[in-house]
Each structure stands twice: as C-alpha cells, then as structure tokens.
Structure 1
Amino acid sequence: MSKVISRDGTPLAYERSGEGPPLILVGGAFSTGTAEEPLAGLLVEDFDVVTYDRRGRGASGDTAPYAVAREVEDLAALIEEVGGSAFLYGMSSGGALVLRAAAAGLAAPRLAVYEPPFTVREDTVAEKAAYTRSLTTALAEGRRGDAVELFLSVVGMPREFIGQMKQAPVWRSFESLAPTLAHDDAIMGDGTVPTARLALLTQPVLVVDGGASPPLMRDAARLTAAAVPDGRARTLPGQTHDVDPRQLAPVLREFFNG
C-alpha cells in the first residue's frame, strides 16, 4: 500500500494496479478501499485503477476539523499522484463526493456514479436535518454504536436485522468507522439533488442505478443525470444498491473508453 499526502498534511493510503488511463474509485459510507477491490479487479486490463481509504478510514489519517473541501483536496492529491488527470467513479455518497470534486474544477475528463443517495422529496429535508442533529450528538457523546444504528435505520434496514448485526463481527468494524458517517452526511448537504452545482459540470457524467432499487432512489439518479449538461442515465436490470461488480464493470468500461 502506498501513501500520498493531502494539502492539509493528511496521509492517504491507496492501492494502484493495471495499465491504461487512470481511474480512481471512491467508496461510500462504511467502506474502505478494500470495498472497491472486486470492481477494480475487473477493470485493471483497461485502466490504471486506484482504490483508496478516504480520510478517517483504514490506513489513512484524519485531520480535524473535517470539511468537505478537505476530501476534495484528497482527490486532487490522488489525481496529481497519477499524472494530473483521472477518470472518477463514486459509489453512493462517494458519488456525491465525486460530483462535488468535479464541480470544484478537478481534472476529471469523465465521471461515473452509482446511486448517489439524494432525495427528490422536499418534505424529507427536515428529516435529513433531524438526522444530522442526532448523528452529531451521538458522535460527540462517544455513542458510536448508536450512530451506526441511527444510520442503518435511516437507510431502511429493519430493526430486527440491525439487532442481528450487533452480534456479528462486522459491527465492531462499523463502530470504528462511525465518525466518518458525519463526513458523508456533510457531503450530502441538505440531501436534495444539487441541480445548480451539477449544472456547472462540463464533462460527460454517467449516472447508474439498479432496476430493483427503491423507486425514490432511481428517481434521484435520473434527476441527477438530467441536471448535468452532458448527463447520461443507465439502469442495470435486477440490481440494487448492493450492485454486482460483474454487472457494473462492463458499463463503466464502455463509458470510460468512449
């Protein structure tokens, strides 16, 4: 594993493999770089693929106070490390980060995102604000398990499943990553599709959703694509938010080679 230093001095751990134009994969909530390794392994024949631990995760450092701009700078450091320009792919809230980074002017000639978790319902903005307050309080009081449970509840996991997960080894991993839930929350803003920001993008942007995902998530993906001047929407039949990399990889390969 290699490391690059971001603008504020935070070390970022990353893996790099394959040959071709650089492609950086950006994970979502509760993920480290290892979460994107199955997808990376399917793309290395066409691209110089980078997976990395976002700040506060895995082997990367974290520097307080957090700001979304610092994560944009992290991506800028990685892009500079691989030659000054790179394709970007983001999963879930990682997709929202990719879109923010591109709007900030990072050198990314093409972007692809999978189901960035925006909302298309204005009446959920108050719910998002309440989640932010509850999450902030839980983390400030050191109640990491409560923060994890809150997040899982908000994304729709049934209470009985959450209870089962608490008894599984993965729960300890979730608790270790709980502070980064605040990072993802900040990246999502008020939760609505950031149409004004997306209108600034000049490069082609592919927005992918799963045909078996909830209708509101699919609606958000379509609205995201529609807000980008060169936005393109694609649905993977039978897929959910937990997308099969074997179904996603050919779509990304076609788009980034386009």
Structure 2
Amino acid sequence: MSAPPTTRTRVMSADGTAIGVTRRGSGPPVVLVDGALTSSRTDPGRPLAAALATRFTVYDYDRRGRGTSGDTPPYTPAREVDDLTAVIAHAGPGACLFGMSSGAALALEAVAAGLPVRRLAVYEPPYTGEVTGPADVRRMRNELEAILADDARGSARYGDAVARLMATTGMPQEMVTLVRHTPVWREYEALAPTLAYDLALLDDGIVPRRRFEHVDVPTLVLDGAASPELLRRPSRIVACLVSAAAYQSLPDQTHDVDPTVLAPILADFFA
C-alpha cells in the first residue's frame, strides 16, 4: 500500500493572511510549529514531519512572513495565535501540538489562550529562565532591531542579525561562519525580518507564569541535556508551572535536536 501523498494548501487567518500548510501521512492529527529562521524553504525535507507521518497526519506550516505564507502588518503575537488557530481548525478535532524553540513559546501562548488541543509538547522555549533579566532581553532586541533597520532586505547586515541569533542559541562561532557560506544562507537572510516577530513573541524574556498556569492539557516539556543551562532552565520552569506537565531531558541533545531522537518520544506521547 502506497504512502498517502504530501499535499499543500493555504488557510486564512483572522486578518485575511494566507498561511501555507503542508499535510503528510495518515492517522490522528499533529500540528508542528517552527522556531526562528525555519520554513519550508530552509528545511525542505522536514525530517521530523516525515518521521511522525508514519503514524499521524502531520500538518506543518510556514509562520507568517516565511516561505509560502503571507504577512499582513502590523505584527502582533495575537495574530500569530490566530494563524495557529486557523491551522488547528484545518487539522480537525483532537489535534496534538508540538512547538520548537520560539514555536514552543507560541504554542504555549495559544493553548493558554484557549486553543483546543488534545496534547501539547514543547522543546526548549527560549525564555531567559530568569538567569538573565529583562534588561538583557531588551538589549538583545534593540541590537537586532538596529541591525534589521540598517540596510535593505538580504543585505550583509541581515546576515549579521542571523549570525547573532545563532550565537545566542549556543552555535560555535566557527560553525556560524561555515553556515554563512552555504546556499541556505540566502534563505536565512530573507527570514531575518521575522526575528523581530520572535522577539516580540517573547516580550521581556521572562516566562509568563500567570498565563502558563492556565495551560491544563497534558503537556510534555523537553530539553537537550547537552544544551547550555540558559536554554534548559526555562523548560524546567514551564514544566513546574503547567499543572499536567511532565519534563524530560534528552541525553546528548542540544537546541539543534536530532529529529530521529525526538520523533519516537513525541509519537509515544501523542499516542
């Protein structure tokens, strides 16, 4: 029996923005939410989606301003929640939700606001974990916004913004330099303006305790045991705040988690 075909469509968000959605596999619905600088163009194979599609109908989508999705100004985090709400409605009742990095923050915000999902899993939401304070987050936001405002789309300065983000998530400088000389770097530069969206989504960087205490669906909070403490501590805080949460740290994994390690864990939890 042949595998179900991959299909692509668009759904309309509340403000009329078209959001590109890809569907793979068959089974119960699972929706994936990307982190920063990820789209169907920077990650065309979607290995996590492909791995989960052996057991689920997987919907991954381009967040607004990325890939096949539109972008209607002005940006607000509430509009991204609306986008995700439209994708969940398209996926149908009983959908499970996985968010990666800033996508984890978006997934948590959406579920806290009442988005109906059966189960939620998140990997390393990039809050500060109160290891650093709001002043540090504002400084980073101001630095990136100054870079983004400095020159035209696709410029070397946009590349500086991308490199700054990669270094912040723990990527060694020599690796950042190597990636900067690969073909995908042009796609990263094109996505650079959406870094401002991720920063707005994280607000002052502190885990929003009062909102996340309202998340009442079964939740799996994950991090990589080899990630820096700056990225791991927020996961533990979120796991403590969410009443129905379990916490798991994946041995030998970093923020750039291996999809072949992650997929079986998500599949067991969503099943």
TM-score bracket, normalised by the shorter chain, equals: over 0.9
Aligned match for 1:100, one of 99, 109, 119: 109
Question: How many angstroms apart in 2 are the aligned matches of 1:181 and 1:215?
Answer: 22
Name the structure 2 match of 1:178: 192
Question: How many angstroms apart in 1 are the aligned matches of 2:177 and 2:90?
Answer: 43
Contact 2:30–2:96 (Cα < 8 Å) also in 1: yes
Question: How many angstroms apart in 2 are the aligned matches of 1:61 and 1:127?
Answer: 31
User: Which string of whole-angstrom CA distances, capped at 9 and with x for unpartnered residues, describes residues 63-93 of structure 1?
Assistant: 1100111110001111111224421101111
Question: How many angstroms apart in 1 are the aligned matches of 2:125 and 2:247?
Answer: 13
Name the structure 2 match of 1:135: 144
Distance 1:51 1:133, change over 3 A: same
Aligned AA for 1:52? Answer: Y
Contact 1:202–1:229 (Cα < 8 Å) also in 2: yes
Q: Is residue 2:10 matched to residue 1:3?
A: yes
Question: How many angstroms apart in 1 are the aligned matches of 2:133 and 2:174?
Answer: 24
Contact 1:95–1:113 (Cα < 8 Å) also in 2: yes
User: Which string of whole-angstrom CA distances, capped at 9 and with x for unpartnered residues, describes residues 33-82 of structure 1?
Assistant: 46372111111232111011111111111111001111100011111112
Question: How many angstroms apart in 1 are the aligned matches of 2:75 and 2:14?
Answer: 13
Aligned match for 1:74, one of 54, 68, 83: 83
Question: How many angstroms apart in 2 are the aligned matches of 1:118 and 1:255?
Answer: 24
Aligned AA for 1:148? Answer: V
Q: Is residue 2:105 matched to residue 1:91?
A: no
- Where do residues 107-146 of structure 1 align in structure 2 (5 Å cutoff)? 107-142=116-151, 143-146=157-160
Contact 2:170–2:228 (Cα < 8 Å) also in 1: no
Q: Is residue 2:64 matched to residue 1:55?
A: yes
Distance 1:192 1:108, change over 3 A: same
Question: Could you tell me the percent identity over the aligned residues?
Answer: 49
Name the structure 1 match of 2:20: 13
Contact 1:14–1:33 (Cα < 8 Å) also in 2: no
Q: Is residue 2:266 matched to residue 1:235?
A: no
Cα displacement (A) at 1:122 = 5.0
Aligned AA for 2:217? Answer: Q
User: Which string of whole-angstrom CA distances, capped at 9 and with x for unpartnered residues, describes residues 156-210 of structure 1?
Assistant: 4444443443333222111100011011111112112222111011101100111
Secondary structure of the equivalent of 1:179? helix
TM-score (norm 1): 0.93
What is the CA RMSD across the aligned residues, in angstroms? 1.7
Q: Is residue 2:235 matched to residue 1:221?
A: yes
Which runs of 5 or more structure 1 residues have no equivalent in the other structure?
none
Q: How many residues align?
A: 257
